[in-house]
Amino acid sequence: MDSAPAGRYLWRSQGHSYGGAALLFHWAVAFLFLAQIPLGYLTQVTESRPALQFQLYQWHKSLGFLVLALSALRLAWLWFDGRPEEAARASPLEKLMASVARITLYAATLLVPLTGWAIASASPLHIPSYAFNLVLVPPLPMAVSDAAEAFWSNLHAILAYCAAALAAIHIAAALDHHFRRKDSTLTRMLRTSAGGNPTKDGSPPMQR
Amino acid sequence: MARFRASTGVCGGLVLLSLAAIDCRATSAADPLEAAAGHYVIERGSEIDFMVAQIGGGGIRGRFPDFSGTFDIMAHDFSKSRVDFTISPASVAANQPRITNFLKSSAVFDAADFPVIRFRSFRVERTGPESARIDGMLTAKGRTLTQSFTASLVHLDGGGIAFHVVGSVYRAAYGMEIGVPIYSNVVRFDMMLKGHRS
């Protein structure tokens, strides 16, 4: 903020720093997406309590639609806002792996809720998707059958658990940067720095 | 002569029968429900259908194939007519097996712990020549509340009678609020109750 055209770029990314909007999108999607993993698991282990299971399903669906909407907005914002330069010095291989992980996680935050939407759309139960009891989400135009529902359910679970594993690696990498390499990879995800201050590892800020 | 007397006797008999038939039709036309007075047992061929609307259109349709009951139609004081009717919620059948199981489960009817749904009327009020409002106590899932249905006569012959009975039940009041507001709180019953005199 010190060198910043005060507050001018608070929501926009610049230099090596993420803007407030990018950070908000990141943490909102991250928190909701990770919360969905145990919630989705609980929907599968509460068959003996059908009322609770039904409620869990509705929360899971509602949060899933929220994740999908936020992820779509996040990508649109990324396209508009651009990405700041990498904060840490890294080998080409590390950069490649980081890019692949990031793109895969972006895709997962879209594909996992989309396959969930497909389950609701393909199910012969025809349970309406009424997100947070506020927004009626129409079904996707697709075949309705028990087999189709089972297919999308399996794909949804596989993608979700793979994404959870990737998210765990992503978190571990962030912690490695912070505690072992002591660079600003994690800290720049925790606060916005409108001036694009130099990072601890001395890499210069990007000039926009 | 003997032949003439026999013929006269047959004619007289026919005349009496015709008069009786005319009288019966006259009574029926004037007051069909009074003509239907008697004690009836509800037949297995009756139909107990219900529908719960869902947001966005459509809904859950189902029926109860297992039920029993009786009703009494009082000739001279119709308001003292009675209905006593029980349904087995374990018999519920929806248009999808998983929905059927959900309806039987503790989330809805809890058929294992509450195996009977019962309706006992306490007042019957005529609302037209062939219709009546039936007020009674409906017991479901351990809760007993006042409930009303409307019955319309659709068929009446010597020993049989059929009523079209409709009514709306607010399920949340019976501890079956699961799914509201995705699914309506209102369960619309549409029944064809057939009875035979006993």
Neighboring chain A residues of B181 at a CB cutoff of 8 Å: 130, 133
> Ramachandran region of residue A51, left (φ > 0), alpha (ψ -120 to 50) or beta?
alpha
CA distance B58 to chain A (A): 9
Which amino acid, B172? A
Tell me if B98 and A136 make a contact (CB, 8 A cut-off).
no
Spatial separation of the C-alpha atoms in residues B144 and B119, rounded to whole Å: 9
Indicate the residue type of B134: I
How much is the pTM?
A: 0.83
Alpha carbon separation from B80 to B122, B145, B191 (Å, rounded): 8, 20, 22
| Contact criterion met (CB < 8 Å) for B181 and A133 | yes
Q: List, for residues A86-138, the tens digit of each pLDDT value.
A: 766 778 888 898 899 999 999 999 999 999 999 999 999 999 999 999 999 99
Residue B77 has which token pair?
A: 């004081």
Q: Which of B106, B110, B184 to mutate to test the interface with A (most CBs of A within 10 A)?
A: B106
The verdict on B55 touching A (C-beta cutoff 8 Å) is yes
Q: State the distance between the two ends of chain A, measured CA to CA, in whole angstroms.
A: 16
Q: What is the pLDDT of residues B5-55, one digit of tens each?
A: 444 444 344 333 333 333 333 344 557 777 889 999 999 999 999 999 999
* Interface residue of A48, A52, A54, A123 to substitute, partner B, most B CBs within 10 Å: A54
How many contacts does A have with B, using Cβ atoms within 8 A?
A: 36
Note the pLDDT of residue A87. Answer: 65
